[in-house]
Amino acid sequence: MMAKKYLVKNSNVLVAKKSRNKLNYYLKTLGGEELYLFTREYSTTCYNLCKSGVPVQTVLLARTRNRALMNLSKYLRFMMPYLVEYYNLNVA
């Protein structure tokens, strides 16, 4: 059985913050609230993409040869059902 795919509203932005050799990812809502999502290993590409915020769909639908970015996209797709339920996010 395949997992259901989720896309959240465009107003939600994915933000990465450095913490030693890790990146903490947060979901910034339209109201400015930052919701903790998960922590991953540090990657320069992922940090540069997400440090100032990027729409969640951009990461979910990313197609590139960069392994770190594709692993982030894969992990975010895996976590979306849990995050939508836990934070009661609006699904597009």
- Which of 47, 50, 22, 49 minimizes the C-alpha distance to 34? 50
CA neighbours closer than 13 Å in the CB half-sphere of residue 4: 9
Question: What's the start-to-end Cα distance of the chain, in Å?
Answer: 22
3-state secondary structure of 87: helix
* pLDDT one-digit tens code per residue, 47-56: 999 999 999 9
Output the average pLDDT for the chain: 89
- Which of 92, 23, 24, 22 minimizes the C-alpha distance to 56? 92
Judged against a pLDDT cut of 90, whether residue 75 lies above it is answered with yes
pTM of the model: 0.88
